[in-house]
Chain A
Amino acid sequence: MSVRVRVPTPLRKFTQGSDEVDANGATVSAMLDDLEQNHPGIKERIMDENGKVRRFVNVYVNGDDIRFLKNVDTALKDGDSISIVPAIAGGM
Chain B
Amino acid sequence: MRLSPEQVERYSRQIMIPDVGGGGQIRLRQASVLVVGAGGLGSPAAFYLAAAGIGRLGIVDGDTVDLSNLQRQILHTTADRGHRKVESARSRLAELNAEVDVAVHDVRLTDENAAELMEPYDFIIDGSDNFDTKFLVNDVAVSLGKPFSHAGIVRLQGQTMTVVPPESACYRCLFEEPPAPGEVLGCQQAGILGAVAGTIGSIQATEAIKYIVGLEEHLLVNRLLTYDAKTMEIRNVPVPPNPRCKACGAPAGSPASQRSHA
Contact = CB atoms under 8 A, between A and B. Distances in A.
B104 interface: no
A52 to B, nearest CB: 11
B238 interface: yes
Interface residues of B, number: 50
B39 A92 contact: yes
Interface in B167-204: 174-179, 183-188, 190, 192, 197
Interface string A1-20: 00000001110000000010
B228 interface: yes
Interface in B156-171: 156-159
Contacts of B42: 91-92
Nearest to A86: B184
A87 B184 contact: yes
A35 B131 CA distance: 28
B152 interface: yes
Given A56-B184, A63-B238, A90 B152 contact: yes
Interface string A77-92: 0000001011111111
B240 A10 contact: no
A39 interface: no
Contacts of B88: none
Contacts of B25: none
Interface in A47-92: 54-58, 60, 63-65, 67-68, 83, 85-92
Contact of A56 (B157, B179, B192, B230): B179
Nearest to A87: B175
A63 B223 CA distance: 11
Contact of B131 (A10, A64, A89): A89
B224 interface: yes
B138 to A, nearest CB: 11
Contact of B186 (A64, A68, A85, A89): A89
Contacts of A88: 152-154, 157-159, 184
Of A9, A57, A60, A91, the most chain B CB neighbours within 10 A belong to A91
A10 B159 CA distance: 13
Contacts of B192: 90
A85 B238 contact: no
Of A9, A10, A68, the most chain B CB neighbours within 10 A belong to A9
A91 B204 CA distance: 12
A88 B197 CA distance: 12
A81 B140 CA distance: 35
Given A91-B128, A91-B129, A92-B63, 8 more contacts: A9-B230, A10-B190, A56-B177, A89-B130, A91-B152, A92-B40, A92-B41, A92-B42
Interface of A: 8-10, 19, 54-58, 60, 63-65, 67-68, 83, 85-92
Q: Which 3 interchain pairs have the tightest Cβ spacing?
A: A92-B39, A88-B152, A92-B129
23 contacts: A8-B157, A9-B156, A9-B228, A10-B185, A10-B190, A19-B228, A56-B175, A56-B177, A58-B174, A58-B175, A63-B237, A85-B237, A86-B184, A88-B152, A88-B184, A89-B129, A90-B186, A91-B129, A91-B187, A92-B42, A92-B63, A92-B73, A92-B187
